[in-house]
């Protein structure tokens, strides 16, 4: 599974810059991020968009997701005969 969100430190390490550089980009609006508690989280897509807008190349290697074939639906279990639940109410003709 590929990581989808990054902390400031992880983003700075990926872009080979200081955490304060990432923080300034978030503050001036050039990099979108979500504030969680005292820290920020940057999505993979937003980090890629920021990096390409700054003139960078491919940040992550493109990995194709494997094609997963749907599993065949299981055959329904045979119905069990229902047990009588007690006397049924009879209606008499009037």
- Taking the C-alpha atoms of residue 82 and residue 69, their distance in angstroms, rounded to an integer, is 37
Single pTM value for the model: 0.59
Domain span holding position 40: 5-53
Share of the chain above pLDDT 70, in %: 81
In a domain, 49, yes or no: yes
- Mean pLDDT over the full length of the chain: 82
In a domain, 92, yes or no: no
In the numeric block, which tokens belong to residue 8? 């400031």
Share of the chain above pLDDT 90, in %: 34
The number of distinct structural domains making up the chain is 1
Strand partners, 44: none
In a domain, 77, yes or no: no
pLDDT in tens, 50-84: 988 888 777 766 655 566 777 888 887 777 777 76
């Amino acid at each position: 599974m590929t990581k989808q969100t990054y902390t400031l430190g992880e983003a700075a390490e990926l872009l080979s810059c200081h955490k304060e550089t990432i923080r300034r980009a978030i503050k001036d609006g050039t990099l979108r991020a979500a504030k969680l508690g005292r820290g920020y989280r940057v999505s993979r897509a937003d980090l890629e968009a920021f990096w390409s807008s700054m003139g960078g190349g491919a940040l992550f290697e493109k990995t194709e997701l494997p094609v997963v074939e749907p599993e065949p639906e299981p055959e329904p279990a045979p119905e069990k005969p229902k047990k009588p639940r007690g006397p049924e109410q009879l209606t008499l003709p009037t």
